[in-house]
Amino acid sequence: MRLLPFLMFTLILLASCSKKEYYIREKTKLNITEEVIVFNYDRTKSSDYLILDYTSDPLQRVFWTSPDTFNTIMILDTVKTVIANYSTYTKEDGTGHQGVYISPQHIGRTVTVIGYTDEYDEINIRDTLKIQIR
């Protein structure tokens, strides 16, 4: 009689265990339209924006960053801010736009903008744009 509860428990345990299937997401695509562009800064302005075009999967979230920064003064303190940040979403046709802040500090330099599709490294797709500021 004691064997019956043990067999029932074992049978329930074995029946509840099954092979786990993991969903592996396909890598998305990301293509910034240009690799290097030349931006002629209008020296009559105190700052300017460059709108960059990109393509990816439809309704794909794209994150933005840059190693290049600009300085602003906020509450009597100098704050460094990257020239492209936050995230954007592509439209249903897979196209998107991102604004890049250009300041007089960047004249004569080449700055870099990086787009990436996911915060996790194993499924992260990146593309880079170089902008020559003249």
- pLDDT of 22 reads 40
- pLDDT of 119 reads 63
- CB burial of residue 32 (10 Å; 0-12, 13-18, 19+): buried
Tokens of 128: 């880079």
| Fold adopted by 27-133 | Immunoglobulin-like (2.60.40)
Query: What pTM does this model have?
Result: 0.73
pLDDT < 70 stretches in the chain: 1-28, 119-123
Is residue 83 within 8 A of residue 70, CB to CB? The reply is yes
